[in-house]
């Protein structure tokens, strides 16, 4: 059990607002390649109660029921723990959610998105808690899924994060990815995320720096944000260390435009577009504010505008700006530049290599998942139609 320790109501010995009994909420899942869709689910779940406990399945359980996860269980525990709406993480949570699990952690009910989660034999993993009336549903975030992100990484294209015309290779793969003989599955497959101001407001803290707080600025791509990196530094580990540099930190993350990221990273990066990366970073408990489309060079104007006290970067080589200048020249001149070593060497490239190495296995996993869901939907449809047929024949 991993507690985040920020004194939320509903924690050990803590009542809910107004002294009433705290409402404790349970969520569980694989949380593989944690993205803003996962974060949005947990945000909605947390809003239904006072204290959110999140169970994360083991590699063995996921492989048994769905296929191999991209991230290891320890990596996934770490990613979920960094989401700001999570109060507690339960490692090795059972794949099938039972009343025994809810009672063990004193949870009133569990929350899941309005999609389907099935066991290896096609059973609804939430059947027991649904029948007991201890199940709540939240809206699934349209436009993103782990399946989609894996598909993007399997493609050699620069078009998935912009409105550019797709290459023939991408179009062919996009047409087949997320489909099976029965047709396109409504919950998986390549799709595009549409950003709205309301979604940003829901994720943002809305708090400005207060007197006595130390304003710390970091900048980068933050692609596939969680424990991945754009400076060969783990995002979560890096930001946690940055956050710990001051007693009262206010961390601002500057996110580069897609074209800028593609310029200095090349290949098919960024995997996630700027709008997706914005929500992912806003969901991190160590970040207070995000600059959307930050300049590559940390300028005097930027430092003065945000009243920055400290600028941080990882230990890897700093890529020069397009004119050959040091993008950190100004903060270095002011004596407010600091390099941070998170000790994490997991990179976006390494994760992509993991997926490419196991491409056939991941594609088989996705097809298997979709086939099970279609079979489940068809069985449920027949159950709904059958009573009607009985009535029609009842004279």
What integer pLDDT is reported at residue 388 of this predicted model? 45
Residue 251 has pLDDT above 70, yes or no: yes
**Distance of alpha carbon 223 from alpha carbon 116, whole angstroms:** 28
What integer pLDDT is reported at residue 194 of this predicted model? 74
* CATH number (domain holding residue 65): 3.40.50.620
pTM for the whole thing?
A: 0.76
pLDDT band at 187 (very low <50, low <70, confident <90, very high): very low
Between residues 313 and 162, the one the model is more confident about: 313
Q: For residue 278, what are the domain limits?
A: 197-339
What integer pLDDT is reported at residue 311 of this predicted model? 98
Both 331 and 205 in a single domain? Answer: yes
In a domain, 48, yes or no: yes
**Distance of alpha carbon 263 from alpha carbon 267, whole angstroms:** 9
Between residues 326 and 159, the one the model is more confident about: 326
| pLDDT, average across residues 304-320 | 92
What integer pLDDT is reported at residue 133 of this predicted model? 97
Between residues 180 and 296, the one the model is more confident about: 296
Both 201 and 330 in a single domain? Answer: yes
Strand (E) or helix (H) holding 150? helix 146-153
In a domain, 190, yes or no: no
Both 334 and 206 in a single domain? Answer: yes
What integer pLDDT is reported at residue 108 of this predicted model? 98
What integer pLDDT is reported at residue 86 of this predicted model? 98
pLDDT tens digits, one per residue of 377-388: 677 677 666 554
| DSSP labels, 247-280 | SSEEEEEEE--HHHHHHHH-TT--SS-HHHHHHH
- The mean-pLDDT minimum among 48-52, 214-218, 364-368 falls in 364-368
Q: Is 9 exposed, middle or buried (0-12, 13-18, 19+ CB in 10 A)?
A: middle
pLDDT tens digits, one per residue of 262-292: 888 887 788 888 988 999 999 999 999 999 9
86 with 4: CB under 8 angstroms? yes
Both 126 and 210 in a single domain? Answer: no
**Distance of alpha carbon 185 from alpha carbon 374, whole angstroms:** 7
* Dihedral over Cα of 317, 33, 297, 342: its sign: negative
What integer pLDDT is reported at residue 273 of this predicted model? 87
Q: What percent of the chain has pLDDT over 90?
A: 46
Residue with tokens 């000790």: 343
What integer pLDDT is reported at residue 276 of this predicted model? 87
Both 211 and 127 in a single domain? Answer: no
DSSP state of 219: E
End residue of a domain, out of 92, 107, 138: 138
In a domain, 3, yes or no: no
End residue of a domain, out of 300, 320, 339: 339
The candidate with the shortest Cα–Cα distance to 39, out of 89, 70, 82, is: 82
311 with 305: CB under 8 angstroms? no
Query: Phi first, then psi: what are they for 232, rounded to 5°?
Result: 60, 35
Residue 297 has pLDDT above 90, yes or no: yes
What integer pLDDT is reported at residue 48 of this predicted model? 97
Both 114 and 231 in a single domain? Answer: no
**Distance of alpha carbon 142 from alpha carbon 268, whole angstroms:** 23
**Distance of alpha carbon 78 from alpha carbon 301, whole angstroms:** 36
Both 203 and 334 in a single domain? Answer: yes
| pLDDT, average across residues 77-89 | 95
Angle between helices 359-393 and 146-153 (to 10 degrees): 140
| pLDDT, average across residues 118-122 | 78
| pLDDT, average across residues 88-116 | 95
pLDDT band at 120 (very low <50, low <70, confident <90, very high): confident
**Distance of alpha carbon 269 from alpha carbon 160, whole angstroms:** 9
In a domain, 370, yes or no: no
Both 231 and 318 in a single domain? Answer: yes
pLDDT band at 181 (very low <50, low <70, confident <90, very high): very low
| pLDDT, average across residues 59-78 | 88
pLDDT band at 348 (very low <50, low <70, confident <90, very high): low
pLDDT tens digits, one per residue of 152-178: 766 644 444 444 444 454 444 444 433
Say how far residue 20 (Cα) sits from the centre of its chain.
32
In a domain, 145, yes or no: no
Which pairs with CB-CB distance under 8 Å and at least 24 residues apart come from 124-131?
124/376, 125/95, 125/96, 125/97, 126/97, 128/96, 128/97, 128/98, 128/99, 129/97, 129/98, 129/99, 129/102
In a domain, 346, yes or no: no
Both 118 and 212 in a single domain? Answer: no
pLDDT tens digits, one per residue of 193-247: 677 888 899 999 889 999 999 999 999 988 865 444 333 336 888 899 999 999 9
Two tokens, residue 310: 């400290």
**Distance of alpha carbon 117 from alpha carbon 337, whole angstroms:** 47
What integer pLDDT is reported at residue 3 of this predicted model? 58
pLDDT band at 125 (very low <50, low <70, confident <90, very high): very high
């Amino acid at each position: 059990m991993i507690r985040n320790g920020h004194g939320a109501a509903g924690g050990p010995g803590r009542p809910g607002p107004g002294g009433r009994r705290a409402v404790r909420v349970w969520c569980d899942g694989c949380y593989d390649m944690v993205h803003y869709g996962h974060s949005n689910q947990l945000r909605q779940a947390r809003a239904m109660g006072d204290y959110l406990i999140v169970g994360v399945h083991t590699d063995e359980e996921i492989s048994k029921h769905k296929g191999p996860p991209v991230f290891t269980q320890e990596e996934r525990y770490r990613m979920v723990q960094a989401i700001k709406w999570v109060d507690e993480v339960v490692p090795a949570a059972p794949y099938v959610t039972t009343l025994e699990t809810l009672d063990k952690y004193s949870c009133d009910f569990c929350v899941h998105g309005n999609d389907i989660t099935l066991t290896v034999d096609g059973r609804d993993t939430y059947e027991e808690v649904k029948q007991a009336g201890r199940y709540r549903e939240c809206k699934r975030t349209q436009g993103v899924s782990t399946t989609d992100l894996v598909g993007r990484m399997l493609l050699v294209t620069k078009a998935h994060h912009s409105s550019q015309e797709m290459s023939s290779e991408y179009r062919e793969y996009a047409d087949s990815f997320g489909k099976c003989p029965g047709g396109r599955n409504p919950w998986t497959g390549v799709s595009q995320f549409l950003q709205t101001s309301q979604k940003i407001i829901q994720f943002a803290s809305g708090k400005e720096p207060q007197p006595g707080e130390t304003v710390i600025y970091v900048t980068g791509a933050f692609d596939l944000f969680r424990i991945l990196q754009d400076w060969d530094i783990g995002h979560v580990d890096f930001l946690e260390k940055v956050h710990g540099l001051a007693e009262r930190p206010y961390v601002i993350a500057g996110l580069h435009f897609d074209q800028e990221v593609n310029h200095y990273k090349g290949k098919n990066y960024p995997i996630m577009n700027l709008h997706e990366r914005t929500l992912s970073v806003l969901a991190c408990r160590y970040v207070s504010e995000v600059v959307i489309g930050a300049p590559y060079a940390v300028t005097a104007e930027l430092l003065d505008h945000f009243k920055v006290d400290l600028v941080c970067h990882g230990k890897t080589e700093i890529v020069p700006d397009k004119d050959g200048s040091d993008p950190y020249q100004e903060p270095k001149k002011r004596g407010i530049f600091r390099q941070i070593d998170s000790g994490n060497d997991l990179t976006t490239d390494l994760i992509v290599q993991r997926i490419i190495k196991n491409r056939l296995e991941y594609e088989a996993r996705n097809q298997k998942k979709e086939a099970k869901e279609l079979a489940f939907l068809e069985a449920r449809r027949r159950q709904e139609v059958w009573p009607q047929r009985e009535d029609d024949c009842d004279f």
